[in-house]
Amino acid sequence: MAIASTVSNYLAEHDVAYDVLTHPHTASSGESAQAAHVPGMRLAKSVILEDDQGYLMVVLPSNRQINLGEVHRQLNRNLGLATEGELAGLFNDCEIGALPAVGPAYGMETVVDETLAEQSDIYFEAGDHEQLIHVSAETFQALLGDNARHGYFSH
């Protein structure tokens, strides 16, 4: 599979420079980081949450875990994990488990773990289990847009 068409179009619309890093097939973002020889702190993964207000993408480093309590506290929302069925509908051009960490490309509200801001460059899933997209940290922030909230949502 190639880069998800939604992501490819979003990158083209924003006229950003990026590299594609191919790696052996993996089952998780942590495995992708290891297979691609990328530090886990630089590989942004996405966790999709939902509540009665809709879906929310939380973007955090692949070597960290989401702290739902912090998400609830900081956003004052009672969010739960989206189901695989919901993810398949929301990201119909992606393989489950390889969701690109660019919520705005999919029209999704996005919050970003502040630990990613400490990195000089960022990698994220391209929509399959064999490719990562590599951009500068500044480009990644621009792709997330001005509406993306930042906070410490992981441990």
State the fold for domain 5-151. Answer: YbaK protein (3.90.960)
Angle at 87 between CA 50 and CA 152, to 5 degrees: 50
pLDDT tens digits for 12-44? 999 999 999 999 999 888 889 999 999 999 999
Residue 145 has pLDDT above 80, yes or no: yes
pTM over 0.85: yes
Cα dihedral sign for 80, 56, 34, 23? Answer: positive
Region 80-102 average pLDDT: 94
Name the phi and psi angles at 3, rounded to 5: -55, 135
The pLDDT of residue 138 is 93
DSSP result, 113-145 = EGGGGG-SEEEEE-SSSSEEEEEEHHHHHHHH-
Which one has a higher pLDDT value, 29 or 81? 81
CA distance linking residue 56 with residue 145, whole number of Å: 15
Region 144-148 average pLDDT: 90
The pLDDT of residue 118 is 87
The pLDDT of residue 2 is 80
pLDDT tens digits for 99-140? 999 999 999 999 999 999 889 999 999 999 999 999 999 999
Angle at 101 between CA 92 and CA 61, to 5 degrees: 140
* Ramachandran class of 116: left when φ > 0, alpha when ψ lies in -120 to 50, beta otherwise: alpha
pLDDT tens digits for 55-80? 999 999 999 999 999 999 999 999 99
The pLDDT of residue 1 is 58
Polymer length of the chain = 155
The pLDDT of residue 119 is 93
